[in-house]
Chains A and B, each alone.
Chain A
Amino acid sequence: AQSVTQLGSHVSVSEGALVLLRCNYSSSVPPYLFWYVQYPNQGLQLLLKYTSAATLVKGINGFEAEFKKSETSFHLTKPSAHMRDAAEYFCAALEPNTGFQKLVFGTGTRLLVSP
């Protein structure tokens, strides 16, 4: 069964520093991959997605992620953190071509941004 691993339940950065949130998937068949952000008391907002097109995916709010099949990874980066980026980030996988909408989520990484 598909699984998603996010290394680090908490990541702390200073404002202006590089943000790197790690995500690895388990299946031998590359799934569709997603990064979602969740602000307090809100639902999930899609940041970006990989669906077997370009391996470098650009999303909203200056985030991007690179799909690396050899490493089974889909790490999320942002060159310069802002205070407003403080939130919880979830990596998720979806098996392609199944006709199903079953997302498998990682456990989440809380990003803390200090001034």
Chain B
Amino acid sequence: KAGVTQTPRYLIKTRGQQVTLSCSPISGHRSVSWYQQTPGQGLQFLFEYFSETQRNKGNFPGRFSGRQFSNSRSEMNVSTLELGDSALYLCASSWGSGNEKLFFGSGTQLSVL
């Protein structure tokens, strides 16, 4: 059974650009959540999607958005990139919302120059 797949693995952008990251959950998983990991702030929750609906959102500005498709794949978008958005973005999937077993992907390393 394939794990959580995140693409691309690495991304380099410049300030002001926008970026889209993709996450394919484990087959059968319907919940996808996103986390940002930085050396300074650690791991912080961005948002969670379940059955194409955003169920919870962390304390991030509106430049961070996401969506989930009917096949449970999810994308997150960051507009008007800032240097501080440089981070490892991790996606996690689980069978159901409220299920405690989350499986993480390897992440997308975003560098903003």
Seen from chain A, the residues whose Cβ lies within 8 Å of a Cβ on chain B are 32, 34, 36, 41-46, 49, 51, 90, 92, 94, 96-108
CB–CB A101/B42 < 8 A: no
* A41: chain B residues within 8 A (beta carbon): 106, 109
> Could you show 24 A-B contacts with beta carbons less than 8 Å apart?
A32-B100, A42-B106, A42-B107, A43-B6, A43-B105, A43-B106, A44-B90, A46-B102, A94-B100, A98-B98, A99-B55, A100-B55, A100-B56, A101-B98, A101-B99, A101-B102, A102-B33, A102-B48, A102-B56, A102-B58, A103-B92, A105-B44, A106-B42, A107-B42
If A100-B48, A100-B98, A101-B94 touch, whether A43 touches B104 (CB-CB below 8 Å) is yes
Residues of B near A42 (CB, < 8 A) are: 106-107
Which one of B33, B98, B100 has the highest number of Cβ atoms from chain A below 10 Å of its Cβ?
B100
The prevalent SS among residues of B at the interface is: strand
Q: Report A99 CB to chain B, min CB distance, Å.
A: 4
